[in-house]
Amino acid sequence: MIDRNPALKVPLPKKDDLEPKAKFLTVEEANKLLNIFSGHHLQPLIYLTLYYGLRRGEVIGLKWDAVDFKNDKLKIKHTVTRVSTLVSKDKTKTASSFREYKILPEIKKLLLKLKSEQKNYKKLFGKEYQNTDYVFIWPDGREYLPEYITKEFKKVLAKNNFPKMRFHDLRHSCASILYDKKWELKDIQTWLGHADIQTTANIYTHVSESRKEILAKDLEHTFSITI
């Protein structure tokens, strides 16, 4: 028998050691990244991801039947993921992940352009064209694989000497930019489709340097002593 727990002196692992450190972009940095992808077939996909903060599986799983041009609505209801095999399903990560967005004017312009291009490619490829109904696809209609998005994204960044980041960090960036725009946490939670607002607060919102300047300015002359 022992009178004390010997594990009490074992240091607990820090949270930072358990989770990969997120990289988040300011508006200026995000636009620089988009410029790097100018002319690249993934630029439209990245553009939409930054606006709506979509997960990788959500953006490559976006189908035309989820796009309502008449009412300017965009639904997130289908995902494409891979564990050991490719899984395409009409289901989101959580119930709150199933959400609907207003199609912004610039996004509508982009989507109409993509639809027109796909129509032309369909004529060009004829019987070889694969009708997948996905929004972001190869010219012959094939869908993008999740691992391709990850590898190609990092490859282009490295080629252009852009700081290392994951594709998922675009989602972090969206949240942080919305926070800088003074959105309420509840609004950001809804926009990103989080089930728990603590996830939004603790993981996806970062205080940028510009926001720190604003916060510091706001705090000036709050307290007083004789110096």
Give pTM, 2 decimals: 0.77
| 218 Cβ contact partners less than 8 Å away, ≥ 6 residues apart | none
List pLDDT tens digits, range 114-164.
999 999 999 999 999 999 899 999 999 999 999 999 999 999 999 999 999
List pLDDT tens digits, range 75-99.
998 888 765 556 665 555 555 467 8
List pLDDT tens digits, range 182-222.
888 888 888 888 777 776 776 666 666 666 677 667 767 75
Distances (CA, A) of 219 to 176, 213, 225: 21, 10, 15
- Please tell me the predicted confidence (pLDDT) of residue 48: 94
How far is it, in rounded angstroms, from Cα 51 to Cα 171? 9
- Please tell me the predicted confidence (pLDDT) of residue 116: 96
CATH code for the domain defined by 15-209: 1.10.443.10
How far is it, in rounded angstroms, from Cα 3 to Cα 208? 49
Q: Is 88 helix (H, G, I), strand (E, B) or coil?
A: strand
- Please tell me the predicted confidence (pLDDT) of residue 45: 96
